[in-house]
Copies of this chain bind each other. A is one copy, B any other.
Amino acid sequence: MLVLVPLLFARDLVLAGTLRTHRVNQTRVSLAPFVERLSSRVEFSHAEEDAILALPYTLRTLEAGEHFIRDGDKPLHCCLMLDGFTVRDKVVAGGSRQILAVHMRGDMVDLQNVLLERSDHNVQALTRCEIAVIPRTALEELSFAHAPVGKALWYETLVDGSVFREWIANVGQRDARTRIAHILCEFAIRLEAAGLAKTSSYELPMTQDQLADAVGLTPVHVNRTLMALGREGLIERRRRSVRIDDWKELARVADFDPSYLHLPTGSPGAKGA
């Protein structure tokens, strides 16, 4: 089931030529962003950094639309996003689906698999993705062998939970205009934090149908609302590309306060407050 794809991963790394011959080196390079991400919140010793870099993993490419984990599976691994976008979703009776979270480079998807045996939702690739597949047992052992690593991973799952809470409020209480503006703001901040775009301008990683599933509206109404936001001069769009013309006003309309993202201090999230 797991496929080694040694030549296709983190697109901005230029070490492809050496990968096949330097397996250890490949390992160190691929998980390095993971170490950086975790260490933005917890201080690591060199030994701990090395332990993270020594985690066993398999590189894998997912095609757009491919399901990686399905509701009810008992996954034996977690995946670290190296490139591309994935979503987590649930399908309810009647067949409609709710997107629960969108993940991008640097995110650890489904870290709850470290401890929860059975997955309660699907994980699907939005775009072609490169992921590092890490056995749950390795993550569990590492977490408890090195307390700071465990702390950092626990922290990640707590932030996950915080975003879920904001999403409950988003779909539960806000009208379409506010709801969509809010998710546009969230993407802006998170994409910039991940080094994938500037807050003022980015490529939306999803279609309007998918956006609709994320905010609990119909695609038709998402479209009308996006058009309206454009007409009001808050954003400009051309297909998937989004430009935020008036960040402050959009954030106001969106009722957006980035503190729920719990970004490390110094991140762009600060500007949104």
Contacts and interface: CB of A to CB of B under 8 A. Distances in A.
Nearest to A101: B165
A168 B164 contact: yes
Interface string A204-217: 00000000000110
Contact of A259 (B100, B120, B140, B162): B120
A259 B118 contact: yes
Contacts of A167: 168
A203 interface: no
Contacts of A97: 173
Nearest to A154: B154
Interface string A55-71: 00000000000000000
Q: Say whether chain A's binding surface is mostly helix, strand, loop, or mixed.
A: helix
A interface residue count range (under 10 / 10 to 19 / 20 to 34 / 35 or more):
35 or more
Given A120-B166, A171-B216, A151 B115 contact: yes
B120 A174 contact: no
A136 interface: no
Contact of A158 (B94, B116, B255): B116
Interface string A139-160: 0100110010011001101111
A178 interface: yes
A63 to B, nearest CB: 25
A169 interface: yes
Given A120-B162, A168-B168, 6 more contacts: A90-B169, A120-B166, A120-B262, A154-B157, A161-B164, A172-B216
